[in-house]
Amino acid sequence: MNKEETIGSNIIESSLKLPFVKVDRREFLIKIFKDKVDDYEKLIEDGPTSFFSKVELDSIADRIINKEVLASSGMSFAAGVPGGLTMAATIPADIIQFYGYALRLAQEISYIYGYENILDDDSQLTEEGKNTLILYLGIMLGVSVAGSTVRLLSVKFSQQLLKTLPRKALMKTMYYPVIKKVLKHFGVVVTKKTFSGAVSKVIPIIGGGVSGGINYVTLKSLSKKLKIELGKIINYTEDEMNKDIEILEGEFVEISRNELDNSSKIDEIKKAHELYLNSVLTEDEFNTLKKQILNS
């Protein structure tokens, strides 16, 4: 992993340790729909889409988003006050709780639109479940290919997709590069947010208010993006599926080209370093050449 990917991964790991993050699909659906449906087993087996229209599910998702965003904003206010929450290593506590709520909301929104439980039978988060959350976060952060990947990997359409795209190609050459791209993008976003957020921490109570306000607007915006993308799975057509496949395949070509370029640069630097070791280049000449290669 590069620096940004490591930062993104570390924050996700820290956020997942928060007690409120993991959401059991069965418990959540029964709690939300207990006054709206009589057949709980059908609700769990087939999902809310068997009972409600997309318009109704959109409304329910909006209520969940508003509730969780308000809860997160209250926590962010406390974190904005010096001494409100402790620091986890070098990561501000409100950054961890912000993305903790984002990951919690991601699960709740996905369950509303009929996606599968990301926890196993023992209510533990599997590696596949964690990767699914990373993709959800990627959708929130505007990584467009993440939405296509999530829809194509949904249980409902996976068998249909595999007739067109081999699973080995999907998982090993496309799925994991998308995960890496999301982590890298996430690391960059968090680094910028941490730097700008530090300004509000120097002003005690006002800082807390600023932190909570920014939290509210940002988390609500991210959640709306996820709601829109996950909601597309309802009435998902073959044309839309083919469009998502094209997006994913196009992203794979882009990723492959970037990896090839990086590999080529590494080879050039190695050759230049050999020339330096053999006294063909001076140390200053080698450093200058290395910078030129990296910036090309």
Instruction: List, run by run, the mean pLDDT of 10-residue segments along the chain (296 residues).
Output: 81 87 92 90 92 94 90 61 45 77 93 90 85 92 87 63 51 71 85 51 42 71 92 86 78 52 64 79 82 74
Residue 68's pLDDT is 85
Token couple for 224: 């709306």
Residue 246's pLDDT is 79
Residue 209's pLDDT is 46
Token couple for 241: 């599926």
Residue 260's pLDDT is 43
Cα(233)–Cα(240) distance, rounded to whole angstroms? 9
Cα(41)–Cα(30) distance, rounded to whole angstroms? 10
Q: Any idea of the CA torsion for 30, 32, 37, 42, to the nearest 10 degrees?
A: -40
User: Dihedral sign, CA of 212, 218, 224, 227?
Assistant: negative
